[in-house]
A and B are shown apart, each in its own frame.
Chain A
Amino acid sequence: EAGVAQSPRYKIIEKRQSVAFWCNPISGHATLYWYQQILGQGPKLLIQFQNNGVVDDSQLPKDRFSAERLKGVDSTLKIQPAKLEDSAVYLCASRGTSGTYEQYFGPGTRLTVT
């Protein structure tokens, strides 16, 4: 079974620029999560999708972050404009149908904002 795919793996941008990250979850997984992991911290949820609907985006800084999941499969997370404090690893995770609990994480995209 192929894992969660993310791209790019690394990105360096200047502050005020925009950036987009892509995630392809495990096939058939209905639930998709985006987490932000700042250096030395645990992952923090940004947004959760169930199929292509948003379940929880309460911690997403909506003035600069946006996310979509078209057709309930791939997802894109965008930051515009980026700030220095957005430097972090952005992790995508997916989870199967109800009755399963495990979230499978991708390798993450490491963003550096200079």
Chain B
Amino acid sequence: QKEVEQDPGPLSVPEGAIVSLNCTYSNSAFQYFMWYRQYSRKGPELLMYTYSSGNKEDGRFTAQVDKSSKYISLFIRDSQPSDSATYLCAMSYNQAGTALIFGKGTTLSVSS
């Protein structure tokens, strides 16, 4: 069993839809949870960062962490064609610079 599982999709939605992206993980030692967005031929860029359980909102994006279920989610409201990218969940054990453990990424396509 991989440490981090993520459905690769692809996921296609119309503009304005609500998008839900999810990851599950097996190691309860993970404390820091991130979502990265990766456009084609580019490096990943940090989108959302959450420590431990709870919700965090930033504009159209909401990140949720449920440590009891080992499940994290990213919601995108009012999706736009510019949101078309691969979304990678990532986790780490601490904030001290430990390398990230990534999921496979989910490819999202938003059509206008």
Contact = CB atoms under 8 A, between A and B. Distances in A.
Given A98-B96, A101-B49, A103-B100, A42 B105 contact: yes
A69 to B, nearest CB: 14
B104 A42 contact: yes
Interface of A is mostly: strand
B42 A56 contact: no
B43 A42 contact: no
Interface string A85-114: 000000101010011011101111010000
Contacts of A107: 41-43
Interface string A36-66: 0000111111001010000110000000000
A19 interface: no
A56 B99 contact: yes
A31 B104 contact: no
Interface in B79-112: 88, 90, 92, 95-97, 99-100, 102-105
Contacts of B45: 105
B90 A42 contact: yes
A4 interface: yes
A91 B102 contact: no
Contacts of B100: 43, 45, 103
A42 B88 contact: yes
28 contacts: A4-B43, A31-B97, A33-B99, A40-B105, A41-B104, A41-B105, A42-B4, A42-B6, A42-B103, A43-B100, A43-B102, A44-B102, A45-B99, A45-B100, A48-B97, A55-B97, A56-B99, A91-B43, A91-B44, A93-B43, A102-B49, A103-B46, A105-B43, A106-B43, A107-B43, A108-B42, A108-B43, A110-B41
Interface of A: 4, 31, 33, 35, 40-45, 48, 50, 55-56, 91, 93, 95, 98-99, 101-103, 105-108, 110
